[in-house]
Structure 1
Amino acid sequence: MTENTTIDRPTPAISAAQSEVEEQLIRNVLASFDSCDNPRLKQLMQAIVRHLHAFIRDVRLTEDEWNTAISFLTEVGHITDDRRQEFILLSDVFGASMQTINVNNEAYKNATEATVFGPFFVDDAPQIEHGGDIAGGATGQPCWVEGTVADTDGNPIQNARIEVWEADEDGFYDVQYGDDRVSGRAHLYSDDDGRFRFWGLTPTPYPIPHDGPVGRMLAATGRSPMRASHLHFMVTAPGQRALVTHIFVRGDELLTSDTVFGVKQSLIKDFVEQPAGTPAPDGRDLGDSTWARAEFDIVLAPEI
């Protein structure tokens, strides 16, 4: 995506003959999928043809613009590897990730709302016990996080798997350092009463990776790459819909401009700073450091 891409060109008048040429092409492309044996695949392919051609015709896309788009997507593919997923970033900044989540996680009673997964989840994060520390050497203000996991009828869910991950105070996840460190992430299980508790870091704002094609697109369109401060959760339990969500820091000035549109009001929580010397809930010696605490009660929808 480049800054000299043509924009805001006036839409020329289209003759009836030209319109028929364009519409005939759409009919031909749609018909090419008529023999598809998979009804869902056929629906998806024909729908994307209709929407893509509607976009091309609506903006009267130039060949230079189309070639620029192809070059942009090629760059997105080239920079993507096993540690960086530029296509997820692209999906996120267009709101496509968030909209897909909305479509697939319909509101159900008082269930906790879902939000974007993000590109930095890693399988096999270490397990911690209750009251353990997910920081693993990552820098930042210590933060005590506690809460419950329950179903929509208020029944506690024991042994729910709770994955948590976050960036350090410099705005980087462990995988961004490239030295195989494991920090700022772990998993634990809810206890017999559905409760959980752990030490993490007080979330801070950070930019999504913006040194690649997605970052250049944001810059060219005058958008910020910044994400609102957040802590990731993924919670799973038998018979319950898997939940992927964040909690956000109340008062963060980026709550209304999160670059991936992930903020929901129900997920904004109080992270209350505790003065230095305030006793920690588990007796941890924090010396002269301030620390914060937050509560997050999770409600899982039933698996349908």
Structure 2
Amino acid sequence: MTNDVSTPGDQAAEQNRREEQLIQRVLASFEATPNPRLRQLVQALTKHLHAFMREVRLTEHEWNGAIRFLSDAGHITDDKRQEFVLLSDVFGASMQMISMNNPLHGNATEATVLGPFFVNDAPEIRMGEDMSFGAAGEPCWITGSVFDVAGNPVPGARIEVWEADEDGFYDVQYRDDRTAARAHLIVPEDGEFRFWGLTPTPYPIPHDGPVGKLLELVERSPLRASHLHFLVEAPGYRTLITHIFVKGDELLTSDAVFGVQDSLIKEFTQHAAGSPTPDGRVLPDGATWSDVRFDIVLAPGESGGQRLTMS
């Protein structure tokens, strides 16, 4: 009588063969895809998805939990909130996408995430005017230049700027239809710009949904490092979406969406109450203020770019 009981080694080899066979069947099912790029994407996704499942030996309970998580993300998503983009943000996928699609080009300013609070048609301000429009916070005098990689000024470049107030809220998060702490300005012939804003403050990404629950489970903070947003556009140049961050901010190494680039960390110099301002502006009694300089270098390329993210 023959013993049909296989050894553990034989069983492991057979299990591995079956798993590999399944992957090859799935890959083959996409071979007739007419679009070669789509075929590449779905086949690569298949390989990496199965590799992940096999590496961690995913359980059915864990897989069902993942399905519930994605279902919850879909249920909370609407025209004002995109939980899947937020999920992309906290896994660093949004920043990886930005890095890949905005490759380094000489001394061009580095890009980072857009965030969910960009609004088209922000009011225009002239040089030296205040983009805070009464938003609460410490006044900040912001200056800089816009140049190309050869050091030539880029006159006519459009700069969009926006930020949170000192309570960590953007104007669109209030219910009174205010427009505050956002504006756009047009760079003059010499490439230099200047305006008043607010000293940036930290704020949390939306964390009352499934992504927030995930961050809680892994004991990660939802806070973003203090920053001021810039979007710079000019014909013949790659659209730049970036921030500047406050040097010394304790959140620089733990930004919830991994948006901090070392080159974007700037010195915000603090000034005591009563100190004279660069343009002679008279601030309220007891009001401190800060100043920062941010020189922007645009890479050559087509204007326009990806503006969808949720940080």
Work out whether the TM-score is over 0.5. Answer: yes
Report the secondary structure of 2:147's partner residue.
Answer: strand
Q: Which residue of 2 aligns with 1:282?
A: 279
Q: Would you say 1:194 and 2:196 are equivalent positions? A: no
What is aligned with 1:106?
Answer: 103
Superposition deviation, residue 279 in structure 1 = 2.3
C-alpha deviations, 1:33-69, integer Å up to 9, x for none? 2122211111111111111111111111112211111
What are the residue-to-residue correspondences of 1:161-172 with 2, within 5 Å? 161-172=158-169
% identical equivalent positions: 67
Unaligned runs of 5+ in 1: 1-11
**Structure 1 residues 268 and 211: alpha-carbon distance in aligned structure 2, compared to 1, 3 A threshold:** same
Looking at structure 1, the residues matched to 267 and 92 of structure 2 have their Cα atoms a distance apart, in angstroms, of: 26
Which residue pairs with 1:3 in the alignment?
Answer: none
Alignment check: 8 A CA contact 1:147 1:297 kept: yes
Paired position in structure 2 for 1:48: 45
1:188 Cα deviation after fit: 1.1
**Corresponding residue for 1:28?**
25
- Normalising by the residue count of structure 2, what TM-score does the alignment of the two structures yield? 0.90
Matched, 1:212 2:209: yes
Question: Residue in 1 aligned with 2:253?
Answer: 256
Structure 1 residue matching 2:231: 3-state secondary structure: strand
Provide the C-alpha distance between the structure 2 equivalents of 1:66 and 1:122, rounded to a whole number of angstroms.
Answer: 38
Displacement of 1:82 in angstroms is 2.5
Asked whether the 8 Å contact 1:88–1:118 carries over to 2, the reply is no
Distance 1:264 1:254 in 2: 13
Of residues 277, 290, 295, the one that matches 1:297 is: 295
Distance of 2:135 and 2:179 partners within structure 1: 9
The DSSP-based 3-state class of the residue aligned with 1:15 is: helix
Give the Cα–Cα distance (whole angstroms) in 1 for the partners of residues 93 and 199 of structure 2: 28
1:199 match: secondary structure: strand
Structure 2 residue 75 is the aligned partner of structure 1 residue 78: yes
SS at match of 1:231: strand
| Residue type of the alignment partner of 2:194 | R
The root-mean-square deviation of aligned C-alpha atoms, in Å, is 1.6
Listed one character per residue, the Cα deviations across residues 182-240 of structure 1 (whole Å, up to 9, x for unaligned) are 22211111111111111111001111111111111001001111111100111111111
Q: How far apart in 2 are the matches of 1:121 and 1:51?
A: 34
Task: Give the direction of change, closer, same or farther, for the CA distance of 1:84–1:137 in structure 2 (3 Å limit).
Answer: farther
Equivalent residue for 2:307?
A: none
Structure 1 segments of 4 or more deviating over 3 A?
A: none
The TM-score with structure 1 as length reference comes to: 0.92
User: Does the 8 A contact of 1:83 with 1:175 survive in 2?
Assistant: no
Q: Secondary structure at the match of 2:27?
A: helix
Q: CA deviation at 1:111?
A: 0.6
TM alignment of 1:54-203, pairs within 5 A: 54-203=51-200
SS in 1 for 2:104: coil
CA pair 181-79 structure 1, distance change in 2 beyond 3 A: farther
Deviates more, 1:262-271 or 1:77-86: 77-86
State how many pairs are aligned.
293
Q: Say which is worse superposed, 21-30 or 43-52, in terms of deviation.
A: 21-30
Structure 2: stretches of 5+ with no match in the other structure: 1-7, 303-311
The one-letter code sitting in structure 1 at the alignment partner of 2:52 is F
Q: What amino acid does structure 1 have at the position aligned with 2:91?
A: F
Aligned-residue offset at 1:136: 2.4
